[in-house]
Each structure stands twice: as C-alpha cells, then as structure tokens.
Structure 1
Amino acid sequence: MADILHKVRGVVLKTSKYGETSLIVTVYTDKLGLQSYLVNGVRSGGKKSGNKAVFFQPAALLDMVVYHNELRTLNRIREFKFAVIYQQLFSNVLKNGVALFMIELLHKTLRQPEANDDLFGFLEDGLLALDEAGATVTANFPVFFAVHLCSILGFSPGVPPAKMMDAPHLLLDLQSGEFRDTPPDHYHYADTEAALLIIELLQTRQPVELQRLQISSLKRNRVLDLMEIYYSLHLPEFGKLRTLPVLRAIMS
C-alpha cells in the first residue's frame, strides 16, 4: 500500500527522543485520529533545523501535511506549522499544568486510532478557551474537562431526573456510573456534596460559564480524585494520572 498525503490538524500528546536528532511524536488528529510520527533532524540545533522541537511540545496545536499508510504504526510528517500560537498556555505555569493534565487524561482514554470529530473539537476548543481564560475559569477547567470528556467517550453518568435531584442523600455510584439515593454495597461512590458538584459541571456547557462557579480547591481536588477512580473503573489499564499531583501542587 502506497503512502497517501493528508492535510490534518493535530494536538501533540507525547514526544520521545529518538536517536541523536529525531523525535517520535504521538498526535491526536482531526482526520486520522491517534497517530505516531517519526520527525527527523528537529533536535540538531543547527542553522537549518533551528529549534524545531519547540513545535512538538505537548498540547501544541499544529497544521500538518503527513504521509499515511495504514499498514505502518509509525508514519512521517512532510510539513508542519503552528495552527495557533498560544498567548499564555506555554508560558503560564498554571495554564500549562492544566493543559498537561488534559493531554494525559485524553491520551490514557484513547484505545483506537479512529477519528472522532466531537472529541477533537472538544479538545481543540478546550485548549483555546484555556489559553484565554481568567483565573476562576482556569482553576475550574480540570474538573470541567474530566467530567465532560467521559460524556463524549460514552460512559458519563449523565444528569439524573429532576425528582432524584431533590433526594436528601443523592450519591454517584462510580462503579455503575449511576446516581442513586442509597449507598451501594461498595465504597466507590461520591457523596452528596461531590455528586451535586458533578451534576453542576455536567450542566455547564461552555468553559466561559465556569466563571460563575465558586469552587474551593478542596472540593476541586475531591472531584478530581473521584474522577480518576471513575475513569479507572470504566477503562481497563487506565492506572494513575501522573500529572494530577503536580496539578494539585501548582493550584494549591
């Protein structure tokens, strides 16, 4: 099968050094889904290559022309450039920490290479919104992203019926992914306070709406811990998020 050229937009998820001057880059693309590329000569630092490795920072949004062969696990990039030059996302420590959390969470959920327009749009829009966000929106962004990502992936608990919302002891069973008004026979569940906050986040449709949510760092950390458990219960081999302790530290 011959290589076919495609114009794609992609978000860099992971970069690994290869040899003396090259990189292996994992990218989530709009048209080809999850892909890995070998990029030669970008780490040489010579006059010809410059500092091209900067293009492949995690969370970078690129326009690319790529060679694609379905029989290969590693393809090549013919052309690349920034699709967007972020104003703050790479330079602001907090925003970069949030972006790296988003990227790791997405990367750990992707199991198939197929494209998903809704998922790519959610990620792209999220990164652009985070770059422009104020302090409150930025602080609330990790819980917003974690709650809505599982909706797009198809295992969200969803918003419960209105009559259940008034239950005095509303809980979220993390194992079944269902809201309920009595404790399950296991300990993987969110208490009423956390369950109501997750519902509020599910009802928040756009990042700009996060401005109105006054959530303490303690509550945000609690929901992030619960969402990590939720993902690990619903996705085999999900494991632990390495960026989560770092995010807690910089947001404290």
Structure 2
Amino acid sequence: MIVKTKAIVFSAIKYSEADLIVCCFTQDVGIKTYLLRNILKSKKSNLKTSYFQPLTQLDIVATNKDKGTLEYIREAKVLLPYSSLHTNIVKSSLVLFLAEMLKNCLREEEPNPILYMFLEESLQWLDEHEGVGNFHIYFLLRLSHFIGFYPDASNMKHDYFNILEGNFQETKTSEYCLEGETVENFKHFFNISVDDISSIKLSKTSRANLLELLLTYFKLHVQGYQRPKSLSIINQLFV
C-alpha cells in the first residue's frame, strides 16, 4: 500500500555500509520504521541524508506492507525548513534530547492526529523563539498528557507530589511522595502557556532537579523506559 503522509523523524541509524534505518512518527499511520537503501552512497537518490536529521518535519510517500517488517520511503521533502533547530547549539542539543525521549516513549502504531499537531506546533515554536531554557520541562509535562499520565493538579495546593500516583497530597503516604523546592517549581509549569515559560526563573541546579523529577516520573509510567543518553549534554548546557 502506498501512503502519503506527514512525518517527524525521531532517529536515523546507519545500517551496513550505505543504508539508514529511520524511525518516524507519521500523521496517518503512527510510528513507522523505514529502510533507506544506499542513501549514504548514491548521488542520484531523490532522498537526501539531510532530510533525516532528528525532528525534521517531512512529507513522505512510503510503501507500507504492515507485516511487521521494515517499510520503504519512495519520496520525501522537507515540509518545514527550520531556521535554527539544527544550527543553534542549544536548540540542536534540545532536539537530540527530545527526539530520544519521544522515540523512548511513543510506540503507537495507530495515528494520533492531536499528538502530531502538538509536536508540529511545539517544534515550530522552538525554532522561532529564544529563551528556551525551560522548554524541555514544559514539553515533557505536556507530552505526559498525550501519553496518558498527566498529573492530577486538582490538589496542587498540597505540599507533596506523589510521582507514582501522579497527584498532589497533603501528607506523605509513601516513599514516592516528594516535597520541597523542586515540587514548588514543578507547580509553576501547570496552567501556563509556552509563550510564558521564560517568566519562570530557575537556577541551573533547580532546573536540573526538576528535570530529574520529570524523568523519574516518566520512568515509573512508561513501560520499557530507558534513561536518555543525551541527558549529559542537556545538563552541561542548562546546569
């Protein structure tokens, strides 16, 4: 079956001498993995390796057999050329981290147009704006909503956040209940728009502690979660 769809690249891994295996989140068919044969050596190919940088937004025409095997991309073009995501060192590092988290957390074989729209709009915002030090915190919290474990903030006035239950509590009921500055900083990211995230003032250490809280939260709620390898880069930039 030939499928024409939008796609966001999550990863591209070299396979053999000239091939790439590319994982994409597509608008119409969910997560797909494609084999791009001879793309690293052929100068005549319509597919360029630059198209498959992390979180690039594409229009693709693909052959989908849906038999659990690798699929094939026949045509691709960049849908939204970025002006800074792959050239600004801070943003490109964020892109690597977010792409790794997305590949880690999303395994949907069914389309999810609302999630796809969220990713499109978030990446466009990141490309167009400066002052992005809090963006990954905001993004991960919102992503938890689409995956299905967004925290219950109805009792946010309470001091404790239970990272296992995903809610705020008045008292500590288990080892999963956290309190203190990090939890208070976490509360600032609820009920705020992406345009206002730079108004949240965090020290480098506070931001690192908040990111660690979120990653622990994801670990408890995402089956097969793996700690991102690019985290050390993020910590060097923002800590």
Map of 2:6 onto structure 1: 9
User: TM-score normalised to the size of structure 2?
Assistant: 0.93
Q: Does 1:69 align with 2:58?
A: no
User: TM-score normalised to the size of structure 1?
Assistant: 0.89
Q: Does 1:160 align with 2:154?
A: yes
Q: Does 1:225 align with 2:212?
A: yes
Map of 1:198 onto structure 2: 186
| Structure 1 runs not aligned, ≥5 long | none
Contact 1:21-1:42 within 8 A present in 2 as well: yes
**Would you tell me which structure has more helix in proportion to its own residues?**
1
Distance 1:116 1:190 in 2: 33
Counting only pairs closer than 5 Å after superposition, residues 115-126 of structure 1 correspond to structure 2 as 115-126=111-122
Tell me which amino acid in the other structure corresponds to 2:10. L
After TM superposition, the structure 1 stretch with the greater mean CA deviation from structure 2, 66-75 or 142-151, is 66-75
Hey, which bits of structure 1, 4+ residues long, moved more than 4 A? none
Map of 2:108 onto structure 1: 112
Counting only pairs closer than 5 Å after superposition, residues 99-178 of structure 1 correspond to structure 2 as 99-135=95-131, 138-161=132-155, 165=157, 167=158, 170-178=159-167
Q: Does 1:247 align with 2:234?
A: yes
Report the CA distance shift for 1:42/1:213 in structure 2 as closer, same or farther (over 3 A): same
Contact 1:158-1:202 within 8 A present in 2 as well: no
Contact 2:208-2:238 within 8 A present in 1 as well: no
Map of 2:74 onto structure 1: 78
Q: 1:133-185: per-residue Cα shift (whole Å, max 9, x none)?
A: 112xx101010011111111111113224xx51x4xx1111011111011132
Map of 1:189 onto structure 2: 177
Map of 2:34 onto structure 1: 37
Q: 1:177-228: per-residue Cα shift (whole Å, max 9, x none)?
A: 1110111321x333243223222212113x2121322222222111110111
Tell me which amino acid in the other structure corresponds to 1:14. S
Contact 2:12-2:54 within 8 A present in 1 as well: yes
Contact 2:4-2:60 within 8 A present in 1 as well: yes
SS across alignment from 1:89: coil
Contact 2:153-2:167 within 8 A present in 1 as well: no
Q: C-alpha root-mean-square deviation of aligned residues, in Å?
A: 1.7
Identity of matched residues, %: 28
Distance 1:84 1:244 in 2: 26
Aligned to 1:21, which of 18, 37, 49?
A: 18
SS across alignment from 2:205: helix
| Structure 2 runs not aligned, ≥5 long | none
Distance 1:86 1:99 in 2: 12
Number of residue pairs the alignment of both structures matches: 239
Distance 1:9 1:189 in 2: 41
